[in-house]
Structure 1
Amino acid sequence: MTTPDAVGRVEAAMVTIRRRQTRRTFAEQAGRADPVQEVLDALEAAGTTPIGVNGVAAALGVDQPRASKLVAAAVTAGLVRREADQADGRRTNLVLTDAGREQLDAVHDHRRRRFATAMTGWTELEQENFAQLLTRFVAALEH
């Protein structure tokens, strides 16, 4: 059973994380300030599932015209390319370029360094427990 105090502390912590640790903030801190970072994150999250502009819009929670502008900027920047969908020639899928993958890798490296710094002084067991609990918590939010 959860206690109201614990739930309130989790809520406050999550709000603080959301305010401080946006994707754009991480990209800027990593020296990769780019308004299309969220497009790269959406493509990466899709994994091997083909994704187009509408999929990016859904992943980012924005309307299609906004997603279209972000995708166009990512294409212009050379971070994403458009490919014809082999199953449906009317559709266009988005694919990360090598430059897009390099930017994602740089942002991931920066994020991980920041998280490691935040856990400085934690034992390996504390880090593992935190990772397990946080992962379980995030998974439960999906339901």
Structure 2
Amino acid sequence: MAPESDEHVETVERAMVALRRSQSRRALARLAADHRPTALSSGAEVLDAIEQAEEAQTPATVTSVAAALGIDQPRASKLVAAAVEAGLVRRVADQSDGRRALLVRTASGRRVSAEIHAFRRQVAGQAMDGWSARDRADFARLLSRFVAALSAVTADR
């Protein structure tokens, strides 16, 4: 385990705080307002959680959305209901458990997900403008490695 006084760990911690602030809904909404009005739809977090479940080939439910977003079930239920109301998500009966509803992105939801990804890539690309291809590759590799390791440390056990 790295010592708490490690200057590099301190730099990473400060950078994570700054990153979280710059990625807040309010900060991104200012950027999105001029470029892609749907890029930060209220259903973006729900779409991300459902897409993550799809990629992991696991069922998406209100419970899994709550876990993915780190929120309580009633809040997740409200967010899912709003995404359903917006036509981004639909509920499908679970064939193995009729009491459970699975969440699936609609065609509109998949389109909005693609817009969200494009917007985020645009912002990341602007932030790395002027970086060499090697720096971009190194950063992508190290950041992915860090996120995987951080996820392992912070995962519910």
Q: Same fold (TM over 0.5)?
A: yes
Q: Are 1:67 and 2:76 counterparts?
A: yes
State the identity as a percent. 53
1:105–1:27 CA distance, 2 compared to 1 (3 A): farther
Unaligned runs of 5+ in 2: 153-157
Give the C-alpha shift of residue 38 in structure 1: 0.7
Post-superposition offset of 1:34: 2.4
Structure 1 counterpart of 2:45, one-letter code: E
The residue matched to 2:37 in structure 1 has which SS? Answer: coil
Task: Give the TM-score, by structure 1 length.
Answer: 0.92
| Corresponding position of 1:118 | 127
Counterpart position of 1:96:
105
Letter in 2 for 1:134: L
- Aligned partner of 1:108 in structure 2 is 117
Determine helix, strand or coil for the equivalent of 1:142.
helix
**Structure 2 equivalent of residue 14 of structure 1:** 16
Question: Which whole-Å CA distance do the structure 2 matches of 1:102 and 1:27 have between them?
Answer: 19
- C-alpha distance in structure 2 between counterparts of 1:128 and 1:95, whole Å: 33
Q: Residue 50 of structure 2: which of 39, 43, 48 is its match?
A: 43
Measured in 2, the distance between the counterparts of 1:22 and 1:40 equals 17
- Kindly provide the amino acid, as one letter, of the partner of residue 6 in structure 2: P
8 Å contact from structure 1 (residues 79, 98) kept in 2: yes
TM-score, normalised to structure 2, is: 0.84
Q: Deviations over 1:57-86 (max 9, x none)?
A: 111111111111111110010000000011
Name the aligned partner's letter for residue 122 of structure 1.
Answer: W
Query: How many pairs align?
Result: 143
CA gap 1:25/1:83 in 2 versus in 1, 3 angstroms: farther
Distance apart, 1:31 and its partner CA: 1.7
